[in-house]
Structure 1
Amino acid sequence: MAKSSADDEELRRACEAAIEGTKQQIVMSIRVAKSHGVWGKTAKLGRQMAKPRVLAISMKQKGQRTKAFLRVLKYSNGGVLEPAKIYKLKHLSKVEVITNDPSGCTFTLGFDNLRSQSVAPPQWTMRNIDDRNRLLMCILNMCKDVLGRLPKVVGVDVVEMALWAKENTSTVTTQKNVQDGPVAATVTESDLKVTVERELVSQAEEEDMEALLGTYVMGIGEAEAFSERLKRELQALEAANVHAILETEPLIDEVLQGLEAATHCVEDMDEWLGIFNVKLRHMREDIESVEIVLEIETRNNKLEMQSVNNKALIEELDRLLERLRVPSEYAACLTGGSFDEARMLQNIEACEWLTGALQGLEVPKLDPIYANLRAVKEKRAELEKLKTTFVKRASEFLRNYFSSLVDFMISDKSYFSQRGQLKRPDHADLRYKCRTYARLLQHLKSLDKSCLGPLRKAYCSSLNLLLRREAREFANELRASTKASKSSTFWLEASTGSGQSANTADTSSVSDAYAKMLTIFIPLLVDESSFFAHFMCFEVPALVPPGGVANGNKSGSYDDDANDDDLGIMDIDDNDSKGGKNSADLAALNESLQDLLNGIQEDFYAVVDWAYKIDPLRCISMHGITERYLSGQKADAAGFVRLLLGDLESRISMQFARFVDEACHQIERNERNVRQMGVLSYIPRFATLATRMEQYIQGQSRDLVDQAYTKFVSIMFVTLEKIAQTDPKYADIFLLENYAAFQNSLYDLANVVPTLAKFYHQASEAYEQACTRHISMIIYYQFERLFQYARKIEDLMYTITPEEIPFQLGLSKMDLRKMLKSSLSGVDKSIAAMYKKLQKNLTSEELLPSLWDKCKKEFLDKYDSFAQLVAKIYPSENIPSVVEMRDLLASM
């Protein structure tokens, strides 16, 4: 079983470093994955990503008390642990294992002091059940020992947890509080068992012994009488022994008879031994005569063996001389032969012979007794000279050959994309010609591995020119042949007018062009990386997975027989591929791929910048396209391609962030206008912009768009509040109209986009607050005396009884009647004036009915409170009832 991260000392030290200075001690640290639940009916469009976290249980000694904490740590951009959140275990109220996870490794921790209980708590996922049980048992034990209570456990059997703890806990930890603080002492389970020392003789046994001794003491008066009694008993025992001996006489007779029979057998055996002694003497005489014959045969065998050895020695010397001979045809080929394609078979045979000859003169294949012979040393030096000459000639030829192949292709303009014609790069012929010398490269590697470095650099330098020329010509013609009208970048600026025709232009051809660039060149670059790794003899694992882009023949670079043994990768160096070499060769391969493909990224950048200038929103589509290609590049040979795609993704994100910043500046310009009424122009324009952005989302671009939404709406709301503060008199009208327009324009999108739904609810709350403030202002403006009178009564009720209030200055029954006459005489006109004032400054007429309903309801609530006060303070006074006032409002 894999080692648990709870036992990882480096992880524990990293956690202690992260909380250094808090005076807390780490009890346990373990790696987990953090995820969240999804919101409502939009869950199917959300994407929850698990994030790596570290949960740490820590404790702190404060006086005589011990405090326990649950810490959440996350990894920074540099891979360093840093604190993210901290919870006190005394607030832990619930531990729930998620039943939707069939593995049982996901659980949640509920705390009773969280501010927002409506937000789903984070879900923690462990690597396996043992890690989950280990963490939960640590938390439960800490709660029991430190807090004296246990939280509610849901979704897991407590008995099952206890059985797991019994089976998996070999040691238990006890905590002792000493003067200097808590000390954790680890003792084994056997040490916890208390051994009770038993007494040697129990009470019952002691009583039995005393009773037995009492039987001997009973009836004995003096020691002499007791001695006489013992003597009589001894005599009786001796007499019984003599009687028993006399009774055994028949047994003694049987033993004597057996001894006599054995004596007769011994005498018979002595006669047989005498007979055998005579026969052995005769046999010894025969053996001496046989030894003489054997000695003669041994001498003959030695002469025959000497003859065989001499013959074998002659044969061995003949084989050694044959091994030291250099065939003349191979010597001529190695020192001055041609490297033309027709002569490659002879060159390969010469290489194979030279490799075998060099290996044949080494100790594993050559008897060690011949290794120091003068002839062997001279022949080895001659073969080394042949090897050096051949490697030098072959390396110089291959360097010139690579350069001439690429120069020939570059000089032919029809090979590249031209005006009006996009041409897919085709390297089939180039690779076919290179494969001719693949076996030669393999033998050069086995002869002298150091010669591969310059050859790899020469190949990369030559092919880099070809690839960059192909990408440049293709990108230029791709942009020239793509017809797309430029889209306006002033999405949220008021000066563009109300029409959005400039922004509805179809620019899909821009992202299609970018996708075509990736479709053509990413498989080509992966193929080139894979071919280069095989062709130049890098000892790395399979570089293109089965069914990958190379085997799909997408770039037209591999033949149908591309998977046969053209390169001979496994023919020569089968035994050389060791695990240690792979990592070194992989690093060298990535360095060579940098030389092979470096510079080609500029043409990809040019396409991205061109697409951004035509339509910045197409960055969303290009981001999704890039992510799909990036997720498919897993092979080590595509290291540069992954870096290229990652750089493209960063550049697209940077360009889109630039567009977002410019749009935010357009929003902020609205703040400079001195007087603004009605709905701001960027409110409906943002809805149009968000609708189009949703249409462009592909793959995993959701995060990119959600970040843009967050920045847009945050700036919009901040700017809206600032503009409202410039004219406090009409601030609430301005706010409620704009927040209502925001909700109306984004209603459909908020139902399917969680991020916009959050801002929709935020705008709804702000709208309600602005409505409440504005309606209260209108009501108090028309009925100020009425509600001020009610407020005075409410203030006095805190200090005096209701019966005393009518006797206070300004609150007598006469004062009440005067106030009612001035406030409620012509109340229908006052209500009509309230409606006109509500209508006066409102530019969005569709909001008036709902606002008037809110206003009537608020007025009735306030009047109802006033009527209750009057009935309590002035029970004999009559005022218009709430029902009458409701009917009056309903009739208007």
Structure 2
Amino acid sequence: MAKSSADDEELRRACEAAIEGTKQKVVMSIRVAKSAGIWGKTGKLGRGQMAKPRVLAISTKAKGQRTKAFLRVMKYSNGGVLEPAKLYKLKHLSKVEVVTNDPSGCTFMLGFDNLRSQSVAPPQWTMRNVDDRNRLLMCILNVCKDVLGRLPKVVGIDVVEMALWAKENTPTITQQRVNVQDGPAETSVSGGDMKVTVERELVSQAEEDDMEALLDTFVMGIGEAEAFSERLKRELQALEAANVHAILENEPLVDEVLQGLESATNCVEDMDEWLGIFNVKLRHMREDIESIETRNNKLEMHSVNNKSLIEELDKLLERLRIPSEYATCLTGGSFDESRMLQSIEACEWLTNALRNLEVPNLDPTYANMRAVKEKRAELDKLKATFVRRASEFLRNYFASLVDFMISDKSYFSQRGQLKRPDHADLRYKCRTYARLLQHLKSLDKNCLGPLRKAYCSSLNLLLRREAREFANELRASTKASRNPTVWLEGSTGSSQSVNNADTSTVSEAYAKMLTIFIPLLVDESSFFAHFMCFEVPALVPPGGHANGNKGGPNDDEDGNDDDLGIMDIDDNDSKTGKSSAELEALNESLRDLLDGIQEDFYAVVDWAYKIDPLRCISMHGITERYISGQKADAAGFVRLLLDDLESRISMQFSRFVEEACHQIERNERNVKQQGVLSYIPRFATLATRMEQYIQGQSRDLVDQAYMKFVTIMFVTLDKISQGDPKYADILLLENYAAFQNSLYDLANVVPTLAKFYHQASESYEQACTRFISAIIYYQFERLFQFARRIEDLMYTIPPEEIQFQLGLSKTDLRKVVKTSLSGVDKSIGMMYKRLQKNLTSEELLPSLWDKCKKEFLDKYDSFAQLVAKLYPSENIPSVAEMRELLASM
């Protein structure tokens, strides 16, 4: 037998693909042929159009705890692809009828109770064979029973035949059930494998008992099959004859029934016509109702949209409205202090209005509207007018403030009266317009450039005038006598005392200049940075001051002038990051603000240098302390000013050091130098005073000066000593000794001088050794020359042969000893006198004489050992005798 299309998996997948997305599951799919039938008045079924290929699919859909069942009709498209044609709900299936006109029994119809027109016959479905028909019908009946809980009416199918077919075509029968009621049969088909199964037995137990009782009423003596067959034929013929007779007798009744049926048919046809008319009218009415609902929905949508549009337009118009009081204030209002609040309010409104017309705050669809563009142009014109008027007013206002202060001479330092600059009133008046500047920045950042230049130009005149008057009066009121710059001049006598006048007032004056003006400049820088809306961090913390002072707004000390109270206007002021471009612009403006004031600081430095060059050390330390306190980026010019002051002080002090070094070098040009050179004690005095002036971190400056001074002093001393070799060592040892004596105390506390102290000590020892050796050899040259010859020969010949060498015999030894050691006490006395004669420093004589005796004793001890070793038989004065002699002298 050919394979059924119900088992075609490809066909099922094609059906599932056709209904993909409906969440329905295909239970069975099978190929059929569709033909149309017409119900006639006679109730006979006729053939219609040509059959068309279709596919019937049973599908289910789970919805919650319920399951819905559908019958889908699929047709083939032009490309041979299945696509849904019709959909029937099985809950409306009322009748399943097998067409009797088809002898094969493969054609059937499905009747649904919800079809709009019952006058049109439902389509007829033709299967390939009875097995396919039975399989589909059993599947439909089972789904209706399991899913819907009821069965449609079944017409034209023998119940017993269906049950037998189900038994024969079901490999595994689990349950069977045939319920005969009014003709239809109920069966069940499993949805998984599409195999037909009979749920219950074909005949119930009660029916079977009735059939047995009926059969028991017949007592048939069946002997042979042929006799039984003949008997049945006779009975059949008798029954047929009786039936024909009964029919002939009932012919009038049949005619009456036929007439009734004809009348009923006419009534049914009339009712069908009426129902068709009513159906058409209802369809038209339904279409009218749908049209009315559609128009109603559109009208309702238009109403909602119009209401929303009106609300949006009202909001937009509110944004575009310019209040007359703000327009008047922006275009022609006064900038007096009493009207500043109105100007600020107008600025805030204008800023918000411009911001609200920008795309992020305004719907992009409104941005290109003509009204919005025109209003934005009008606001831009208002902004340009206000910025121009405000900028012109502020430029004139800054100039007028400074001109008023400069014209008042009592504001500056005068003769006999130093006056601290007080900008409290100036800043108070400027603060009035701080918020205005913030809003000008938010409206047009480019307008700040000219305003910054105007402020810097005006205030620069005031600051320079204050610094000039203060510096002039500071110098005039400081009393200090000049100290000579010829500190180390060799031509002056050593007995001349160096001028030790107190010049501390000079460095105090410089410190006062810095104390007054550096915090002022830092505060001015900070105030300018914040007042002119630079996005940089504060120079000093809120409530603090650059110089550590605190005071009220009217105090003479530097008050908290940096707190403008404007941090809440511009969000940019709270940013922790700062751009290099903003800092560069700030430093450039600070140069315009403060440039030129450094000349008055330079004048004080030069004036202090002329009075006492050593005060450069104190001023250098004071300047370094201020430099270490200036770390903020916005005070860049103040740091540059302090760096320039430090460089100028260092340069002036270096000039003093160079001049002093030239004074030292001029000593070597003298014809003859004896004793301690003049610059040795003068340097000690200079170093003592330099140490007194050291403040802060000026140690490096002084140490570098020490290195230059001492290096030149030692080099000059060596050059002078080389001018007279005979007295060179005497000059060296006396000066190195004087250097050590004069710097002993300072060398203990100053590491740089300690290093030169040790260097002088070494040089002193070397000069002493050379000088003492020269004196000893002058008196005992033959004795120690004889010893030196012996020591030289001992390297080349054996010791026992030395006494046989020319000039080294015992006789020669006796002559040398007699010549040198006879009257040795007188020779030693001559050494002392020679030593005393050459020295100009009496205090060095005792120590040098002790060194001389010790050196002589060491040399004589070496000579005595040589004699004892090489001339054992010869007698010379012993070392002990010589030691006693030296000790007695």
Q: Which amino acid aligns with 2:567?
A: I
**Distance apart, 1:332 and its partner CA:** 1.5
Contact persistence 1:428–1:558 (CA under 8 A): no
Structure 1 residue 302, shift from structure 2 partner: 6.1
Which position in structure 1 is the counterpart of 2:648? Answer: 651
**Alpha-carbon distance between aligned partners in 2 of 1:778 and 1:549, rounded to the nearest angstrom:** 70
Residue 467 of structure 2 aligns to which amino acid in structure 1? Answer: A
| Rounded Cα–Cα distance in structure 2 between residues aligned with 1:348 and 1:477 | 44
Partner in structure 1 of residue 713 of structure 2: 716
What does 1:230-249 correspond to in 2, within 5 Å? none
Give the drift of 1:557.
Answer: 7.6
1:872 to 869, 873, 880: 869
TM-score when normalising by structure 1: 0.66
Whether the 8 Å contact between 1:860 and 1:886 is mirrored in structure 2 is yes
Distance 1:558 1:634 in 2: 21
- The 5-angstrom pairing of residues 481-492 of structure 1 reads 481-492=477-488
Asked whether the equivalents of residues 693 and 705 of structure 1 are also in contact (C-alpha less than 8 Å), the reply is yes
Tell whether 2:344 aligns with 1:344: no
Residue correspondence of structure 1 range 61-100 to structure 2 within 5 A: none
DSSP 3-state at the match of 2:465:
helix
Q: Which runs of 5+ in 1 are unaligned?
A: 1-266, 282-290
* 2:273 pairs with 1:276: no
Match of 1:91 in 2: none
What's the counterpart of residue 757 of structure 2?
760
Partner of 1:44: none
- Report the alpha carbon displacement of residue 299 of structure 1 after superposing the two structures with TM: 8.2
* Local SS of the residue matching 2:568: helix
Instruction: Tell me the secondary structure at the aligned position of residue 571 of structure 1.
Output: coil
Task: Determine if contact 2:567/2:573 at 8 Å carries over to the other structure.
Answer: no
| Separation of aligned partners in 1, 2:496 and 2:504 | 18
1:380 aligns with 2:376: yes
Aligned residue identity for 1:751: N
Structure 1 residue 842 displacement after superposition: 0.6
Q: Mark the CA change 1:752 to 1:279 in structure 2 (over 3 Å): closer, same or farther.
A: farther
In the TM superposition, residue 556 of structure 1 has moved relative to its aligned partner by: 5.4
SS in 1 for 2:719: helix
- Percent sequence identity over matched residues? 83
Per-residue deviation, residues 799-849 of structure 1 (Å, max 9, x unmatched): 211121111111111111111111111111111111111111111111111
Provide closer, same or farther for how the CA distance between residues 559 and 650 of structure 1 changes in structure 2, counting only shifts above 3 A: closer
Match of 2:671 in 1: 674
Of the three residues 409, 423, 433, the one matched with 1:413 is 409
State the alpha-carbon separation in 1 of the partners of residues 498 and 408 from structure 2. Answer: 43
Equivalent in 557, 563, 568 of residue 570 of structure 1: 568
After the TM superposition, which residues 7-18 of structure 1 pair with which residues of structure 2 at under 5 Å, given as runs? none
Preserved CA contact (<8 Å) 1:464 1:595: yes
Q: In structure 2, which of residues 697, 715, 719 is the aligned counterpart of residue 700 of structure 1?
A: 697
Question: CA offset at residue 551 of structure 1?
Answer: 7.0
CA deviation after TM superposition for structure 1 residue 753, in Å: 0.3
Aligned counterparts, 1:850-861, within 5 A: 850-861=847-858
Q: Distance in 2 between matches of 1:878 and 1:700?
A: 70
* Corresponding residue number in structure 1 for 2:841: 844
Query: In terms of mean alpha carbon deviation, does 624-633 or 813-822 score higher?
Result: 813-822
> Superposed, which structure 2 residues align to 1:329-368 within 5 Å?
329-368=325-364
Aligned twin of 1:821: 818
Name the SS for the 2:675 alignment partner. coil
Superposition pairs for residues 2-401 of structure 1, below 5 Å? 274-278=145-149, 304-401=300-397
Cα distance in 2, alignment partners of residues 539 and 647 from structure 1: 27
Shift of 1:279: 7.4
Cα displacement string for residues 425-447 of structure 1 (whole angstroms, at most 9, x for unaligned residues) = 00011111111111111111111
Contact kept, 8 Å, 1:867 with 1:881, in 2: the verdict is yes
Distance in 2 (CA, whole Å) between partners of 1:862 and 1:502 is 46
Q: Does 1:441 align with 2:312?
A: no
* Amino acid across the alignment from 1:355: T
1:726 paired to 2:597: no
C-alpha distance in 2 between matches for 1:676 and 1:792: 38
Larger Rg: 2
Cross-structure match for 1:517: 513
**What is the one-letter code of the residue matched to 2:537?**
P
CA deviation string 1:281-303 (max 9, x = no partner): 9xxxxxxxxx9999999987765
| Aligned equivalent of 1:770, options 767, 772, 777 | 767
* Structure 1 equivalent of residue 452 of structure 2: 456
Deviation at 1:272, TM superposition (A): 10
CA spacing shift, 1:500–1:322, aligned 2, 3 Å: farther
Supply the AA of the counterpart residue of 2:566: G
Q: Distance in 2 between matches of 1:559 and 1:307?
A: 69
- Of 428, 436, 439, the residue aligned with 1:432 is 428
Q: Distance in 1 between matches of 2:788 and 2:696?
A: 61
2:21 corresponds in structure 1 to: none
Q: Are the counterparts in 2 of residues 783 and 823 from structure 1 also a CA contact under 8 Å?
A: yes
* 1:480 corresponds to 2:476: yes
Shift in Å, 1:307 = 2.4
* 1:180-229 deviation line (CA, Å, top 9, x unaligned): xxxxxxxxxxxxxxxxxxxxxxxxxxxxxxxxxxxxxxxxxxxxxxxxxx
Q: How far apart are residue 356 of structure 1 and its match? A: 1.3
In 2 relative to 1, CA 618–316 (structure 1 residues): closer, same or farther, beyond 3 Å? same
8 Å CA contact 2:487, 2:660 repeated in 1: yes
Distance 1:360 1:559 in 2: 43
**Partner of residue 791, structure 1:** 788
Would you say 1:665 and 2:662 are equivalent positions? yes
| 1:602 matches 2:596 | no
State the alpha-carbon separation in 1 of the partners of residues 631 and 526 from structure 2.
12
CA–CA distance in 2 between the matches of 1:713 and 1:862?
36
For residues 619 and 471 of structure 1, the distance between their equivalents in structure 2, rounded to whole angstroms, comes to 21
Alpha-carbon displacement from aligned partner over 1:374-426 (angstroms, at most 9, x marks no partner): 11111111111111111111111111111011000000000000000000000
1:577 Cα offset (Å): 4.8
Q: Output the CA distance in 2 between the equivalents of 1:620 and 1:575.
A: 42
Task: Name the counterpart of 1:253.
Answer: none
Looking at structure 1, the residues matched to 636 and 512 of structure 2 have their Cα atoms a distance apart, in angstroms, of 21
1:501, distance to aligned residue in structure 2 (A): 5.0
Specify whether residues 809 and 560 from structure 1 end up closer, same or farther in structure 2 by C-alpha distance, changes over 3 A only: closer
Q: CA deviation at 1:552?
A: 3.0
Alpha-carbon spacing, 1:280–1:889, altered in 2? closer, same or farther (3 Å): farther
TM-score of the pair, normalised by structure 2 = 0.66
Where in structure 2 are there 5+ consecutive unaligned residues?
Answer: 1-137, 153-285
The CA distance in 1 between the partners of 2:723 and 2:631, in whole Å, is 57
Distance in 2 (CA, whole Å) between partners of 1:550 and 1:746 is 39
Give the 3 Å change call, closer, same or farther, for CA 694–465 of structure 1 in structure 2.
Answer: same
Pair 694,730 (structure 1): closer, same or farther in 2 beyond 3 Å: same
- Looking at structure 2, the residues matched to 276 and 410 of structure 1 have their Cα atoms a distance apart, in angstroms, of 107
